[in-house]
Copies of this chain bind each other. A is one copy, B any other.
Amino acid sequence: MQIAIIGLGRMGGNIARRLMAHGHECLVFDRNREAVSGLQGEGARGASSLQELAGLFAGRRVFWVMLPAGEPTEATIRELAGIAAPGDVVIDGGNTFYKDDIRRARELEPRGIHYVDVGTSGGVWGLERGYCMMIGGPEDTVRELDPVFDALAPGYGDIERTTGRDAPDDRAERGYIHAGPAGAGHFVKMVHNGIEYGLMQAYAEGFDILKTKNSEHLPAEERFDLNLPDIAEVWRRGSVISSWLLDLTAIALAGDRNLQHFSGNVADSGEGRWTLEAAMEEAVPVNVLSAALYARYRSRQDATFGDKLLSAMRYGFGGHVEIPQ
């Protein structure tokens, strides 16, 4: 299938590569000319503008936008809306807020342009392992794109089949789902990332307890000398908490057991926050997901104003002076 990939960063470039490897014809565009020529060298056809990109199609056009969420994606889709013809498809494969998908689909529908949102998980490993995709959009359009999704997805692989599973639609088992109408794909991906934050923080807190148990700040008789790389490794086998994130933890600790190459200033993208907002719209209590997000905020700060206010109150009622440690 002919498909245009717009945005050739880490994700977009690898998506183009994986599609080409499965026999699809990729038309590519990026504001960065070198990214375009790089992909051209791997077999893609490049364009120097969206307009030119549109002209490369033989028939119905399918644009896969893979850009940072927010204005970069928004502006590109606005421009595509002016270029696309009825029957064309615009796919947002980035990390867009699902309500923006709903709005865009409503705007594009009267002009006959089909809007599809794809939440894509897999990171830098997707090229090799395949991408897990959560898709929103019109039933027919999603069906027509099946060869694309099938190429990008991991497929059955050697993952053990879920006991009791008996569903006629095997797409989930091949690594992608049609989650519902526009927005549903990014909604499911958003919650996926919310869970991801929670899982990561659970491991982070646990390993922090293990690491601190070795610390010289504890009295000698309370200390252990725990081997963190071995602990991560052993939990990968037969334990209840084995996971891919644990595999990555084991890799990180194998190479740098004190993680001294990492700053610990942890970024967060929109999904963590949107997940909390969704939870609040539904009145679902989400203490773990919130705590995971806030830990990232806190990681990027020195003493907060709130901390100082605690010091000030303690001084106020008890004469306590907090000495910096």
Contacts and interface: CB of A to CB of B under 8 A. Distances in A.
Given A205-B289, A218-B282, A282-B209, A200 B263 contact: no
Contacts of A122: 238-240
Contact of A191 (B200, B209, B292): B209
Contact of A295 (B256, B287, B293): B287
17 contacts: A10-B318, A129-B238, A132-B235, A157-B237, A172-B233, A177-B230, A198-B199, A198-B201, A198-B202, A201-B306, A240-B245, A242-B243, A263-B308, A285-B295, A285-B304, A288-B291, A288-B295
Nearest to A243: B243
Interface in A221-256: 222, 224-227, 229-231, 233-256
Interface string A178-215: 01110110011001101111111111111111111101
Contacts of A175: 234, 237-238
A274 to B, nearest CB: 9
Contacts of A200: 309-310, 313-314
A82 B169 CA distance: 56
Contacts of A310: 200-201, 204, 264, 266, 295-296, 299
B204 A187 contact: no
B254 A166 contact: yes
B263 A159 contact: no
A252 B312 contact: yes
B262 A322 contact: yes
Contacts of A285: 205, 294-295, 297-298, 304
A275 to B, nearest CB: 7
- How many interface residues does chain A have, given as a range? 35 or more
Given A196-B240, A240-B245, A259-B305, 8 more contacts: A165-B229, A172-B229, A188-B231, A191-B206, A209-B275, A243-B245, A264-B308, A276-B280
Q: How many monomers of this chain does the complex have?
A: 4
Interface string A111-124: 00000000001111
Contact of A159 (B163, B210, B237, B251): B237
A307 to B, nearest CB: 3
A34 interface: no
A142 to B, nearest CB: 13
A75 interface: no
Contact of A311 (B198, B208, B263, B307): B263
A277 B270 CA distance: 12
A40 to B, nearest CB: 23
Contact of A247 (B155, B162, B284, B304): B162
A149 to B, nearest CB: 11
A140 interface: no
A206 B226 contact: no
